Chain A
C-alpha cells in the first residue's frame, strides 16, 4: 500500500464529454505527477504539480489540465474527450526538494489508477 488513492477506479464517457480524475497523495509528499498508460505501453508523462504549481508538462494538448490543492491532492481534467483518451491514468506522489539533485531521485509512489473508456 502506497497511501496514494485515486478515484474513480473505472469511468465510461462518450466522445466530447469532460472528465475529472482525482488523486490523494501520500502523507508528507508535495508533488503529484500524472501519467497516461495506453494498453500494452509504458506510462506517458502528462504533467507534474509541485507545491500547487505546474512543474513540467509532457507532450499533451491543453485540453489536459490539472490542479493541486493546499493539501497536495490533485485533479486531472480532460475536456473534449477523444476515443484515443481511453487509457489507464496513473497518479504518482513524491517529495521533491528544491536543492541538490532536485528531481533526479524522484521516487514516485503510484496509485492503482483510473481506467477511462471513451465510447
Chain B
C-alpha cells in the first residue's frame, strides 16, 4: 500500500526566513512522482513542485525546492524567504502509473510578520 506521512501538523516561521516541511512516503513501486500542493483557506489546491522517482537532481521552482532523499523515502519541501502569503495548508502527494494520487494529511504553515 502507498502512504504519505506528514508529521508536522503545524509550523511557524518568521517572515523572510526559510522553512522545511517534512514528507515521508512508503511504496514498493519503482516509478512514482512526488508533488507538493498549497491549499489556502479558499480551498483551491495549488501545484507547487514535482519530483520524479528517477530524477537525479532535486527539483526547484522559484522559492520552492524539494529535498529528495530516495533511500530514506523522504521528499521535504523547502520554502526560502517566507512571505505572509505563504500561510496556508501544504500537502505532499504521490502519484503512480495510471495517475492515482495519494495525499498526506497536510501541514499548516503560519508566517509571522
Complex contact A90–B45 (CB within 8 A) = yes
Q: Give A104 Cβ to nearest chain B Cβ, in Å.
A: 4
Contacting residues, chain A, for B93 (C-beta < 8 A): 42
Complex contact B99–A113 (CB within 8 A) = no
Take A43-B45, A110-B46 as given contacts and tell me if A105 and B101 are in contact as well, using a CB distance cutoff of 8 Å: no
Which A residues, 55 to 98, have Cβ-Cβ distances below 8 Å to chain B? Answer: 55-56, 58, 88, 90, 92, 94, 96
Which B residues, 24 to 62, have Cβ-Cβ distances below 8 Å to chain A? Answer: 31-33, 35, 37, 42-47, 50, 52-53
Take A104-B31, A105-B52 as given contacts and tell me if A55 and B46 are in contact as well, using a CB distance cutoff of 8 Å: no
Complex contact A103–B43 (CB within 8 A) = no
Complex contact A104–B44 (CB within 8 A) = no
Complex contact B100–A31 (CB within 8 A) = no
Q: Give B12 Cβ to nearest chain A Cβ, in Å.
A: 18
Take A42-B105, A103-B95, A105-B50 as given contacts and tell me if A56 and B43 are in contact as well, using a CB distance cutoff of 8 Å: no
Complex contact B32–A45 (CB within 8 A) = no
Complex contact A106–B33 (CB within 8 A) = yes
Complex contact A56–B98 (CB within 8 A) = yes
Interface residues of A (CB under 8 A from B): 2, 31, 33, 35, 40-45, 48, 50, 55-56, 58, 88, 90, 92, 94, 96, 101-113, 115
Interface residues of B (CB under 8 A from A): 4, 31-33, 35, 37, 42-47, 50, 52-53, 91, 93, 95-106
> Can you offer 27 A-B residue contacts whose CB atoms are under 8 A?
A31-B99, A43-B91, A43-B103, A45-B102, A48-B99, A48-B100, A55-B99, A58-B100, A90-B43, A90-B45, A96-B99, A102-B98, A103-B96, A103-B100, A104-B33, A104-B95, A104-B96, A104-B97, A105-B95, A106-B33, A106-B99, A107-B35, A107-B47, A109-B47, A111-B44, A112-B42, A113-B43
